[in-house]
Amino acid sequence: MHKLVRRSVAAAGLVAALALTGCGGSSDDSAKDKPSTAPTQTGGGGGDAASGNIEGAWAGVTESKAVSLAVTGTKAVLLADGHACTGEVSDMGKQMLSLKCADGNTDRTMGTIESNDGKTLVISWDAGAKDTLTRSAAGKLPTGLPTGIPTP
């Protein structure tokens, strides 16, 4: 299981790099000078817990299957249950993920960030799934992942 999660995190990084550098961008270098529109962490205490910055790599296990999310700016890549999905992060009062899966799967195409404390991210998907992901440090697996092989 540990190897599966490690491979999923590595695959998410690779897919994220490919998708975020190769999709939807223009060849105009002036875009590099524009400020980021990524959701940012709000200062001070209080406020909506889901308003934090979700940029980075996240991983977890939902229903015994690895789930990996990579976010750069407003672009997002998700690997879950054998599906690769790409899309956008937007703020609609709450942060939302709007994704499209390459194989047409719709299990995780519209998601709402329910909570984010900077270490744990909870996403509720319109199709019913709920993922709890842990922020991954660069080159490391998140802590708290299962170590044994799940039994049916």
Dihedral over Cα of 56, 130, 116, 52: its sign: positive
- The tokens for 4 are 């599966």
Contact 84, 150 (CB under 8 A): no
pLDDT digits (tens, 9 = 90+) for 73-123: 999 999 999 999 999 999 989 999 999 999 999 999 999 999 999 999 999
Per-residue model confidence (pLDDT) at position 151: 55
Pick the CATH number of 2-22+49-136 from 3.30.300, 2.40.128, 3.40.50, 3.40.1620: 2.40.128
Q: Rounded to whole angstroms, how far apart are CA atoms 111 and 139?
A: 26
pTM: 0.64
pLDDT digits (tens, 9 = 90+) for 22-70: 443 333 443 333 333 434 333 333 333 344 689 999 999 999 999 999 9
SS3 content of the chain, % helix, strand, coil (to 5): 20, 40, 45
